[in-house]
Amino acid sequence: MRHRFYHPNGLSRGPTILDGTEAHHLTHVLRARVGDLVDLFDGAGSEGEARVVELQRRQVRLELLTVRSVERESRYRLTIAVALPKGPRQGWLVEKLVELGVDRIVPLRTTRGVAQPDDNALNRLQRTVIESCKQSGRNRLMTFDRPMRLAELAQAIDPATARWLAHPTTTASQWSHDAPSEPSQQSVDWTLGPGTNGAACVAIGPEGGFTDDEVRDAVDAGWQVVSLGPRLLRIETAAVACAAHWCLLHEGRAWITDSRT
Ligand code: SAM
């Protein structure tokens, strides 16, 4: 597969210029030469093939040979609202959510959250989104909303969106509207299906978990509390598990290989 570069200013056939980090990567890291072919994508659904025409210190002149619209997005949009973990775990989380096709991330401000997202962190993560799109072949950038509290998100979100709040099993049953009576039925049965607008949102709490008040407010605002199983998952594991479940449920295909043939 050819190297891909992000060209945010729209793609149209003919001469075009790559600059900034992308030009640096092509010139100084990959040591491209005149005549090399590369792929460009615009983050808005289009990609194309380009030939290197001239390499300068800070920019690369290219001839864009083809442009086409190629959709590799999920038919149903999934938002992950998450209290970001600390340090490098943030980058890992964002990389995996891009690969799995998550539509957008809402960084959650929570009572027990330790890593409150600032502008620097969000700028760094935006770069991770681009790198992960380059690697995974995604032509649309996953977007970041401004950081907000769960209560704000509940107000902002389209009511036709299916909404789940992940909360560990031992506490999930007490929040369920139809709480199971048998211990064997303790985990809440859930299927990540889209809402009537084709979208869903899953909220993942911080290391210390959501507070009772946060959960109660979310339930009152129409969120369904769900369990992800009997083990306690780290923030990024919980988010990636939900995105992977969604991705396979709505986009996966079974490959059946008969070894006798
Ligand atoms: N001690 C915290 C608690 O009891 O909520 C654990 C928080 S966990 C490290 C971080 C977040 O991941 C949780 O707030 C929840 O959203 C999600 N999570 C982790 N394991 C889960 C599980 N088994 N079921 C549902 N949500 C889970």
The domain of 46 spans 4-69
Q: Are residues 43 and 93 in the same domain?
A: no
Domain holding 211: CATH number? Answer: 3.40.1280.10
Q: Whose CA is nearest to atom 4 of ligand 1?
A: 209
Give 149-164 pLDDT, tens digit per residue: 999 998 899 999 999 9
Q: Are residues 109 and 187 in the same domain?
A: yes
Question: Cα dist. 242→80, 116, 131, 203 in Å?
Answer: 9, 22, 22, 10
Query: Are the CB atoms for 225 and 231 separated by under 8 Å?
Result: no
Q: What is the CA(178)–ligand 1 centre distance, in A? A: 21
Examine the fold and report which residue of 69, 90, 107 is the final residue of a domain before the chain moves on: 69
- Which residues partner with 44 through β-bridges? 140
Average pLDDT, the chain: 88
Q: Are residues 193 and 176 in the same domain?
A: yes
The C-alpha atoms of residue 159 and residue 119 are separated, in whole angstroms, by 29
Separation of first and last alpha carbons in the chain:
30
**Within 6 Å (CB) of ligand 1, which residues are found?**
166-169, 204-205, 207-210, 227-229, 231-235, 238
Query: Are the CB atoms for 168 and 238 separated by under 8 Å?
Result: no
Full-model pTM: 0.88
Give 220-249 pLDDT, tens digit per residue: 999 999 999 889 999 999 999 999 999 888
The C-alpha atoms of residue 34 and residue 61 are separated, in whole angstroms, by 9
Q: What is the largest CA-CA distance in the chain?
A: 71
| 33 alpha-carbon distance from chain centroid | 34
Low-confidence stretches of the chain (pLDDT < 50) are: 172-173, 179-188, 261
Q: Whose CA is nearest to atom 2 of ligand 1?
A: 209
- pLDDT value at residue 250: 84
Tell me the one-letter amino acid at 218: A
Q: Look up tokens 């099993």; give the residue.
A: 169
